[in-house]
């Protein structure tokens, strides 16, 4: 406990966030293969990785082009935007830790709800032996969760810039070690300047994210395609959804708090 602590509520929340971000990176400093993956390795069809890469890439491209409006039918966007405005006004007036924490609380509540939906859907598909056809559903659930998290913090998701940010979040969440640190650096750079990298290509970013997801989910999607026992593979949808949710919430909170810090600094000068 600090006596005569002169840190502002914003500074306290920022320092807490930095600790949580560092903890996320440390937990994923290296990948540990589980026993189930090792046993399944010999049984994986040679072209399954390529098939998964293509399936995820098509799912992202299709949803970004035509599916966002469909996803928006699963939640009340206008209400989420209004709720954000209320929380933002409260935070501006009260300027205390509780009002700042209300953003992350709402985002976590949303994440928990979507996590349950993802788990139920994945297990159901697995029991029926549906693996690859589950990919558009799983991808849609990922984006639904991130879209709602974005709205909780006052951000949109339609522009090229926001899609780039979202794809980075997904890719970072399923990466490890140096790759994760590199992607995390790109996420933070975007938060600072809000600009796309030079020579940025939407298709290339989608393919990179699809490749990262398919590589991580390869064994589980194979297992999910086997009736009944596929429920085990389907349950992993929720495991990876949880990881993506955690990372997305951290980085949207980082973005929001960084924006408040920037606004405060402008008032001082």
pLDDT digits (tens, 9 = 90+) for 83-97: 999 999 999 999 899
CB 173 within 8 A of CB 248: yes
Burial 124-144 (b: 16+ CB within 10 A, else e): ebbebbbbbebbbbbbbbbbb
The mean pLDDT value for 177-196 works out to 97
Query: Strand, helix or coil at 132?
Result: coil
User: Which token pair is 78?
Assistant: 């206008």
How far apart are the C-alpha atoms of 213 and 195, rounded to whole Å? 24
CB 149 within 8 A of CB 110: yes
pLDDT at residue 52 is higher than 80: yes
Q: Which of 78-82, 96-100, 137-141, 184-188 has the lowest average pLDDT?
A: 137-141
Nearest to 237 by CA among 261, 258, 213, 256: 213
pLDDT at residue 228 is higher than 60: no
CB 25 within 8 A of CB 175: no
168 vs 225, which has greater pLDDT?
A: 168
Residue 205: the pLDDT is 97
User: Which token pair is 86?
Assistant: 């209320």
- The percentage of residues in the chain with a pLDDT greater than 70, rounded to a whole number, is 78
Give, for 114, the enclosing helix (H) or strand (E). Answer: helix 97-127
pLDDT-based confidence at 227, cuts 50/70/90?
Answer: very low
The mean pLDDT value for 71-93 works out to 94
Residue 209: the pLDDT is 96
The mean pLDDT value for 102-106 works out to 89
Q: Which of 1-10, 20-29, 51-60, 155-164 has the lowest average pLDDT?
A: 1-10
Residue 116: the pLDDT is 62
User: Which of 29-43, 82-96, 217-231 holds the top average pLDDT?
Assistant: 82-96
Residue 6: the pLDDT is 79
pLDDT digits (tens, 9 = 90+) for 112-143: 776 666 544 443 444 334 444 578 888 888 99
The mean pLDDT value for 244-269 works out to 88
């Amino acid at each position: 406990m600090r006596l005569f602590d002169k840190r502002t509520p914003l500074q306290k929340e920022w320092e807490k966030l930095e600790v949580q971000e560092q903890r996320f990176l440390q937990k994923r400093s290296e990948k540990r293969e589980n026993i189930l993956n090792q046993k399944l390795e010999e049984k994986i069809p040679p072209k399954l990785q390529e098939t998964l890469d293509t399936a995820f890439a098509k799912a992202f491209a299709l949803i970004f082009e035509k599916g966002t409006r469909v996803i928006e039918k699963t939640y009340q966007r206008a209400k989420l935007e209004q709720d954000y405005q209320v929380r933002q006004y409260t935070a501006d007036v009260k300027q205390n830790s509780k009002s700042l924490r209300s953003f992350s609380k709402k985002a976590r509540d949303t994440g928990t709800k979507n996590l349950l939906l993802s788990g139920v859907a994945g297990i159901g598909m697995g029991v029926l032996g549906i693996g690859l056809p589950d990919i558009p559903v799983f991808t849609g659930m990922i984006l639904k969760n991130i879209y709602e998290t974005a709205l909780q913090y006052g951000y949109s998701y339609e522009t090229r810039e926001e899609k780039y940010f979202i794809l980075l979040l997904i890719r970072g969440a399923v990466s490890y070690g140096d790759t994760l640190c590199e992607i995390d650096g790109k996420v933070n750079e975007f938060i600072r300047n809000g600009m796309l990298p030079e020579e940025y290509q939407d298709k290339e970013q989608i393919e990179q994210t699809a490749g990262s997801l398919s590589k991580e989910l390869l064994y589980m999607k194979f297992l999910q395609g086997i009736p009944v026992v596929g429920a085990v593979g389907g349950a992993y949808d929720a495991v990876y959804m949880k990881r993506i949710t955690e990372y997305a919430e951290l980085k949207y909170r980082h973005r929001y708090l960084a924006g408040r810090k920037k606004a405060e600094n402008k008032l001082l000068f």
